[in-house]
């Protein structure tokens, strides 16, 4: 346990475990944001997905139905976000905040009515969970590999396909896309739905792979850390992936450093390490570390001229 | 979809449309409650009795409403300047910290008539300071205030946990809370339960915000910045200073939640007292259409929901207090993001009435 190699393995595995939902969620957020739709509702989608994953897996005794339900739940919220932001040209931040609060309320309301355990779902075991594939100690279930694959996939879609080109264009200058005869609405809806898919997987991972069941508010701000990672990665897949790994590592280190005195520094408050993702992102946004430039049309509803 | 078919009459736009939006939110909650297996009308009657059925419940309703007024005004002041302050939660938290620190430092020396104003001022100062950082980052460094205020909520929560667990915890206490305040820092109660003088402070803030926004040159400049920043620059407004002013006022207002909670009720610094009031302030401001009078009314409704919802959860075990959170979220959705949803319906209705 104490030799450096196994310690390294443990820290790396812990990093990957905590980074997985961040990576999936960040890739989802990236699609949405590159199309010009701000998504502060990642947290809500992930929470709703986690709840339905836990609830359906417990009811059907199948992890796969849990994953399917998670994706469906996240897609439902994604469609609501699309309806508000794309069809009705509402304020995208307001819509995202609303989804977060709705998810925080609905998961507990529904969970209490369904299972009568104060918002928790029953503990899952065996085939109700997604179990590690190769290394039992590392927790490498299928969604971890899905997260690792999602990064090159997102990169390929965004930079190498026609859809990706149009997606980037619609986030920068929707008018140009519209005048080329391509539907801005449909493009943005597809981006929002992709975001739902990925954040649904992230939620499922949290409830039925990383943990054994849903508990209230279990996403605990990870959706916002994923959003921070998107910004920190300057809206590009691989840098965002790097940011997720870094934030995951910080979390893994924070747990290990609890109560440990670092030579020369003394005890590092865990809370400081936990707030580093937010602080670092703020530093970046302030232009102190490079420059983060958002897609130009982000947050602006597209109004077609008649 | 043609939104600009025929404009609605002004009264329909100002009164009818928001009412339809709120009705949609409540109908949705009713459907969800029905799905859970509870009769929504029975739940509603229990809720109303729980909120206004006795002098004691009215007191609690007003006490909750006080918090909603503060955070609703906080969102509204920033919003009039075109700034979206989602950081009310963190600003309320830090406001409480400021108020608590001032009291812990001075409550042995100052009499009540001096201690209470100092506590209130410290809450405003700390709330404003916590909002000033995102404001400064937006005004001078161009970072987006929505993102920075969200991030600062988390930083505030982490900071408070650290301070409460490691620094401010009362000696010998097992739970992370500070020592109790001396009675000189207790806000006088109104009617025997949680309701305290903060309600008067909240109402004074409503009037002050109204005067500030519509009857002072700064309020005028602030609203101009919100409507059209270029016009504001042309009129000689310094957008940076205006951004700072709007956000500091907003943060100070949110910080007063700490006054109501800590000086009014808990009488010590505790964790998690903002309990979602900061986010609910967005719903209150949207529902009150960013006007102090509307905000006071919306806050009253949300206070009643909070108190009635707690009683309801007590009476019917299938329903939890989080039903109220759900209603807040749906109000934000329907009267914020989906505000235009019923417009075509109303337009069709009016076109039908007057062909």
CATH value at residue A80:
1.10.3470.10
C-alpha B86/C-alpha B65 separation (Å) is: 19
Domain holding B142, by residue range, is: 62-304
Domain holding A162, by residue range, is: 18-285
Mark yes or no for CB contact A271/B159 under 8 Å: yes
pLDDT at A201: 96
List pLDDT tens digits, range A113-125: 888 887 888 888 8
Checking ipTM against 0.85, whether it exceeds it is yes
How many distinct structural domains can be found in chain A?
Answer: 1
pLDDT at residue A1 greater than cutoff 70: no
Domain assignment present for residue B168? The answer is yes
List Cβ neighbours of A46 (8 Å cut-off, separation of 6 or more): A21, A25, A74, A199, A202, A203, A206, A219, A222, A223, A226
Percent of chain A with pLDDT over 90: 57
Mark yes or no for CB contact B154/A271 under 8 Å: no
C-alpha B148/C-alpha A282 separation (Å) is: 6
Helix axes A142-160, A237-257, angle to 10 degrees: 150
Mark yes or no for CB contact B338/A287 under 8 Å: no
Interface test with A, best of B24, B150, B278 (most A CBs within 10 A): B150
Q: State how far the alpha carbon of B170 is from the alpha carbons of B126, B272, B295, in Å.
A: 22, 17, 37
List pLDDT tens digits, range A201-245: 999 999 999 988 999 889 988 999 999 899 888 899 999 999 999
C-alpha A298/C-alpha A162 separation (Å) is: 20
Residue B241 in 3-state DSSP? Answer: helix
Beta bridge pairs of residue A261: A267
Domain assignment present for residue B169? The answer is yes
pLDDT at B355: 56
Q: What is the 3-state secondary structure (H, E, C) of B103-169?
A: HHHHCCCCCHHHHHHHHHHHHHHHHHHHHHHHHHHHHHHCCCHHHHHHHHHHHHHHHHHHHHHHHCC
pLDDT at B1: 44
Mark yes or no for CB contact A84/B151 under 8 Å: no
| Residue in A with minimal Cα distance to B154 | A275
Tell me which residue in A94, A116, A227 faces B332 most closely, judged by beta carbons: A94
Domain assignment present for residue A281? The answer is yes
Mark yes or no for CB contact B1/A87 under 8 Å: yes
Tell me which residue in B137, B158, B337 faces A84 most closely, judged by beta carbons: B337
Report the CATH number at residue B89: 1.10.3470
DSSP designation for B320 = -
Mark yes or no for CB contact A95/B337 under 8 Å: yes
Residue B264 in 3-state DSSP? Answer: helix
C-alpha A73/C-alpha A55 separation (Å) is: 12
Domain assignment present for residue B153? The answer is yes
pLDDT at A2: 62
Establish if A183 touches chain B: CB-CB under 8 angstroms.
no
In chain A, residues with a C-beta closer than 8 Å to the C-beta of B328 are 101, 105
Domain assignment present for residue B317? The answer is no
Establish if A163 touches chain B: CB-CB under 8 angstroms.
no
pLDDT at A253: 82
In chain B, residues with a C-beta closer than 8 Å to the C-beta of A272 are 158, 162
Q: State how far the alpha carbon of A15 is from the alpha carbons of A138, A242, A251, A256, B322, in Å.
A: 10, 12, 7, 12, 33
C-alpha A261/C-alpha B71 separation (Å) is: 40
pLDDT at A132: 82
3-state SS of chain B: helix, strand, coil percent to 5?
75, 0, 25
| Residue in B with minimal Cα distance to A43 | B150
Mark yes or no for CB contact A269/B162 under 8 Å: yes
Mark yes or no for CB contact A285/B36 under 8 Å: no
How many distinct structural domains can be found in chain B?
Answer: 1
Do B312 and B47 contact (CB within 8 A), yes or no? yes
pTM of the complete model: 0.90
Mark yes or no for CB contact B330/A110 under 8 Å: no
Domain assignment present for residue B130? The answer is yes
Beta bridge pairs of residue B196: B189
C-alpha A104/C-alpha A226 separation (Å) is: 18
Q: How many CB atoms lie within 10 A of CB B270?
A: 18
Q: Report the gap between the CA of A85 and the closest CA in chain B (Å).
A: 7
Burial A250-273 (b: 16+ CB within 10 A, else e): bbbbbeebeeeeeeeeeeebbbeb
Mark yes or no for CB contact B329/A40 under 8 Å: no
Domain assignment present for residue B350? The answer is no
pLDDT at residue A68 greater than cutoff 60: yes
List pLDDT tens digits, range A150-193: 999 999 999 999 999 999 999 999 999 899 999 999 999 999 99
List pLDDT tens digits, range A80-89: 999 999 999 9
Q: Report the gap between the CA of A278 and the closest CA in chain B (Å).
A: 5
Q: State how far the alpha carbon of B287 is from the alpha carbons of A55, A96, B145, in Å.
A: 33, 17, 22
* Banded model confidence at residue A305, pLDDT cuts 50, 70, 90: low
Interface test with B, best of A282, A291, A293, A300 (most B CBs within 10 A): A282
Residues of chain A numbered 285-304 and touching chain B (CB < 8 Å): 285-288, 294
Mark yes or no for CB contact B332/A224 under 8 Å: no
Domain assignment present for residue B155? The answer is yes
Interface test with B, best of A113, A223, A231 (most B CBs within 10 A): A113
Six-digit token pair at B161?
């946990």
Q: Report the gap between the CA of A132 and the closest CA in chain B (Å).
A: 32
Q: What is the pLDDT along chain B (355 residues), one digit of tens a residue?
A: 444 566 788 888 778 888 898 899 999 999 999 988 889 999 899 999 999 989 999 999 999 999 999 999 999 999 999 999 999 999 999 999 999 999 999 989 999 899 999 999 999 999 999 999 999 999 988 888 888 999 999 999 999 999 999 898 988 888 889 999 999 889 988 876 888 999 999 999 999 999 999 999 999 999 999 999 999 999 888 999 999 999 999 999 999 999 999 999 999 999 999 988 999 999 899 889 899 999 999 999 999 999 998 898 888 888 888 888 998 899 889 988 888 888 888 888 888 776 5
Domain assignment present for residue B172? The answer is yes
Backbone dihedral angles phi then psi of residue A136, each to the nearest 5 degrees:
-55, -35
């Amino acid at each position: 346990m104490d030799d450096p190699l196994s310690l390294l393995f443990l820290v790396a595995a812990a990093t990957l475990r905590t980074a997985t939902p961040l990576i999936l969620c960040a890739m989802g957020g990236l699609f949405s944001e590159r199309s010009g739709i701000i998504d502060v509702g990642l947290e809500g989608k992930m929470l709703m997905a986690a709840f339905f994953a836990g609830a359906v897996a417990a009811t059907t005794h199948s992890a796969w139905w849990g994953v399917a339900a998670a994706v469906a739940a996240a897609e439902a919220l994604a469609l609501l976000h699309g309806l508000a932001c794309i069809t009705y040209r509402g304020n995208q931040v307001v819509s995202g905040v609303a989804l977060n609060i709705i998810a925080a309320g609905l998961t507990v309301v529904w969970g209490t009515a369904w299972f009568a355990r104060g918002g928790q779902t029953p503990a899952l075991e065996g085939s109700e969970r997604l179990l590690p594939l190769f290394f039992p100690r590392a927790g490498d279930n299928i969604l971890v590999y899905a997260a690792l694959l999602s990064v090159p996939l997102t990169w390929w879609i965004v930079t190498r396909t026609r859809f990706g080109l149009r997606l980037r264009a619609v986030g920068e200058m929707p008018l140009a896309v519209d005048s080329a005869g391509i539907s801005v609405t449909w493009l943005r809806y597809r981006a929002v739905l992709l975001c739902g898919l990925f954040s649904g997987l992230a939620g499922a991972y949290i409830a039925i792979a990383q943990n054994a069941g849903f508990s209230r508010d279990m996403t605990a701000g990870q959706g916002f850390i994923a959003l921070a990672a998107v910004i920190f990665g300057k809206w590009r897949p691989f840098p965002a992936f790097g940011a997720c790994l870094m934030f995951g590592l910080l979390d893994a280190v924070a747990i290990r450093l609890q109560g440990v005195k670092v030579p020369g520094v003394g005890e590092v408050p865990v809370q400081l390490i936990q707030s580093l993702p937010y602080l670092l992102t703020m530093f970046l946004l302030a232009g102190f570390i490079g420059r983060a430039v958002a897609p130009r049309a982000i947050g602006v509803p597209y109004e077609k001229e008649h | 979809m043609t939104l600009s078919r025929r404009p609605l009459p002004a009264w329909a736009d100002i009164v009818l449309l928001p009412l339809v939006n709120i009705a949609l939110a409540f109908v949705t909650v009713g459907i969800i409650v029905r799905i859970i297996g509870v009769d929504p009308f029975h739940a509603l009657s229990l809720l109303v009795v729980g909120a206004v059925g006795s002098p004691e419940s009215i007191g609690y309703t007003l006490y909750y409403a006080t918090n909603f007024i503060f955070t609703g005004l906080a969102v509204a002041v920033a919003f009039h300047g075109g700034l979206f302050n989602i950081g009310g939660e963190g600003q309320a938290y830090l406001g409480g910290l400021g108020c608590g620190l001032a009291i812990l430092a001075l409550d042995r020396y100052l009499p009540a008539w001096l201690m209470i104003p100092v506590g209130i001022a410290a809450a405003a100062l700390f709330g404003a300071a916590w909002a000033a950082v995102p404001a400064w980052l937006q005004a001078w460094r161009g970072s987006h205030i929505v993102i920075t205020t969200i991030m600062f909520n988390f930083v505030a929560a982490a900071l408070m946990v650290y301070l409460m667990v490691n620094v401010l915890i009362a000696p010998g206490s097992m739970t992370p809370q500070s020592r109790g305040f001396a009675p000189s820092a207790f806000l006088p109660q109104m009617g025997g339960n949680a309701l305290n003088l903060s309600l008067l402070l909240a109402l004074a803030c409503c009037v002050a915000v109204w005067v500030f926004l519509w009857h002072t040159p700064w309020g005028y400049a602030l609203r101009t910045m919100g409507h059209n920043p270029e016009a504001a620059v042309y009129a000689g407004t310094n957008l940076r200073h205006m951004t700072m002013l709007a956000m500091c006022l907003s943060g100070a207002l949110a910080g007063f939640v700490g006054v109501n909670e800590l000086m009014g009720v808990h009488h010590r610094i505790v964790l998690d007292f903002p309990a979602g009031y900061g986010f609910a302030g967005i719903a209150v401001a949207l529902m009150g259409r960013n006007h102090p009078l509307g905000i006071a009314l919306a806050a009253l409704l949300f206070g009643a929901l909070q108190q009635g919802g707690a009683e309801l959860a007590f009476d019917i075990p299938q329903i939890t207090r989080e039903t109220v959170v759900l209603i807040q979220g749906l109000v934000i959705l329907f009267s914020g993001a989906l505000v235009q949803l019923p417009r075509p319906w109303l337009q069709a209705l009016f076109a039908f009435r007057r062909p």
